[in-house]
A and B are shown apart, each in its own frame.
Chain A
Amino acid sequence: MTAAPLHDLPPHHTDAARDADRALREHAEQARHWHLADLFAEDPRRFETLSLHAGGLLVDISKQRLTADTLEKLRALAAARGLDTWIRCLFEGGEVNWTEGRAAMHWRLRQPPRPQGEPDPVQEQLARMERIVKRILSGQWRGCEGDAITDVVNVGVGGSDLGPLMASVALHENHPREGRRPRVHFVSSMDGSQIAPLLDELNPATTLIVVSSKSFTTVDTLSNAATARCWLEQAFPKMNGAVLRCHFVGVSAKPERMSEWGIHEDNQLLFWDWVGGRYSLWSAIGLPIALTIGMDGFRELLAGANEMDRHFQEAPWEKNLPVLLGLVDVWNLNFLDITARAVLPYDGRLKHWPAYVEQLEMESNGKSVDRDGEVVDYHTCPVIWGEVGPNAQHAFYQLLHQGTQPVACEFLAAARHGRRNGNSAELQPLEEQHILTLANCLAQSRLLALGDRALAEDDGTPTHKRYRGNQPSTTLLLDELTPRHLGALVALYEHKVFVQAVLWGINPFDQWGVEMGKKIAKDMIQVLESGAGADGLDASTRALAAYVRERQPDDR
């Protein structure tokens, strides 16, 4: 379904780009000496100039160490790097993933249905997914003994796990409009440590396994799926045909591999090569999300993301959220030399957001070779980590406030909690907890930015009690944590990652860096099992392998 691209990918190294880069470097020489407390003192309208609202999101970058002038210079660099053409290429289905020779069209998954009569594989798969969701929610998906399914286990890893897990947990308070949702469980770790205790708890007669893998060769996923299959076949030894038909759904871009594994054709959901794994929660990979919030909720999620897609394409760069956030990150990393970023959601529902963002950004932009095959001589993606903010306050905030590393922080919260169930008297204490959490969020970003100057007086305070401040941060406020707003938020991050990749001249859609390890691991199995091939290894690995082998039970 790739349309012929209309635009060529623009070149990275141009004279204009070099000029824009030089201008920014000169500008940064001064900016390095700025303190956020001074910037706020000098410009009372700083928030008005340096914040944006779109798609139900307020983004405040006024606590970043930059000015309107900085942004203008960054936009000049983006223009010189051909960002506008790149955006057009992305949405035309151009070959933006050049190392794998294909388009990246995750945005296509959230487009509204095409006019009637036109073939629309995306809507076709959505309809198939809806049938499955409806059947499960209505209690009419039957196990091989005829029981209604009560538990669904999503077996997947990476993009087939992090996105669906993050969104299912974030939106858990949104119930499907009809029917009763199953309990949804996630299993990813290859060592079986997640699936073993889970299967102990579950009833095979009422459990459905969703095997999610784009390639359907991922060893982590297939080993967990094989364990689940063995568990079910042992529970129902007389009905092996029905076990696969009644207890397994597959989601993949490779139908023939699903069939080979034994997934019944009616239970196969497809997506496509042009959807990257970490961009796939919008496809049938999002099945656990749809089971949690219902198909209506899932379509809302898509609609929110589609709104952000249009915003990214249409809004002028001055008002363009993905462009703005991408430029800020580039500024911090390449011009202020801040190589770490902390992701801090002030909302327990978003507890998997940091892990999701870590994969999205570091797997996308953890690259160092440009389109000409040259190794770049500047930083690309920063090191990103995170944790639910209030909990992180008791863990690593000490480093943020008084350590030696500069860290850019990202605060994320919902302005309104928007709880749906229960009466107001019972919810009052919870509302108070929400306000308490927001108060902490605002207090921390303020203290990080201003340091001691956030306090009234600071005379005579000993050095070890002082806060130097000037840690830059962005605050994102969702109006409310709804499927629609979450959809917009995730799409914002996807596009931001793209903007950065364009400025760095790298391909955000491949992941060659994770391939070799898988291959070497295969050989290593033999080393551990028989010792064969150990001689060729380095001294460390050889010794570790021997140590492990000595400690295996004798009957192996």
Chain B
Amino acid sequence: MGEIRLMKGNEALAEAMIRAGCDAYFGYPITPQSEVLEYLSIDATKRTGMVVLQAESEVAAINMIYGAAGCGRRVMTTSSSPGISLMQEGLSYIASAGLPCVVANVNRGGPGLGTIQPSQGDYFQSVKGGGHGDYHLFVLAPSSVQEMVDFVREGFDIAEKYRTPVMILSDGAVGQMMEKVELFDQMPRKTEFPDWATTGRKRGQDRTYITSLFIKPEKMEMINLNLQAKYQAMIENEVRYQSFHLDDCEYIFTGYGLGARICQKAMEMGREKGYKIGLIRPITLFPFPTTIFNEMASKVKGILDVELNAGQMVEDVRLSVEGKTKVDFYGRMGGMIPSPDEILNAFEEKFINGGAK
């Protein structure tokens, strides 16, 4: 059993980064995730020799990530919504060039400068490819401080396995709250680097280069086909979700991250009142757990999707169920957080009292 600590989500993420043998972190302060850079600034370099650098902007940070990832190193950055918007160009380049890295988004309310309170308004820009071109981020949605730790290590593994950018999509609440966590032991930093990395030309060989520019459409199409094949492999092999009471449920609540935690409480309260409610929490948002929704759709009377946004993931839920059951949505926006009571009321209104309409 690893070391047990009481930690804030953001600090736990930073600690996990150090322990995962991360080689470099480049980031820029933004609420509610500044604790990550602050935590790393204390003694991360002393502990493992990793690079910790406060960049001049999120734009610079993501491009430093590109450079260091291109050298085959384990690299990570973090930001919150407006900062992630700024990184989208860089993420498109990173996806195209096939560079592994982990990016954490501690989602806050928007659009615009918005609010620093928790939100899930960044599902679209995380899952649907926020930058230009046909690409996906591999998106993990932690709902607890423990997952903020686990997904850093797992994120690096996925990033390196598929040579892809991985996003940990959390939110202000998961970043700011403290929970008990079990930390994994310190892993060594890498000493060997892949062949594709630009670590200096090898003797007897021509140079290696990293690029996302393929001016001939035939070549660019090949690059796209390769990317799509990679995404297909993720869909086949890497889908993850958590579920409750799927064996007896008549209704399903769904949500991700913080939203799913609140739904869980609403589900418990609903079951006390006699409603047979189950829950599906997608853990990977891309690849999305389409199959389980599709399977359950023919067995239940309806699905209530709850998010801290105007309804983003619900589009994927609807695509998954292929019209086989009613899918309704309840959400709050702009940093407002729905309470479990509110969710249960919404459920009763949409599915029990007015459901027949």
Chain A bound to chain B:
no
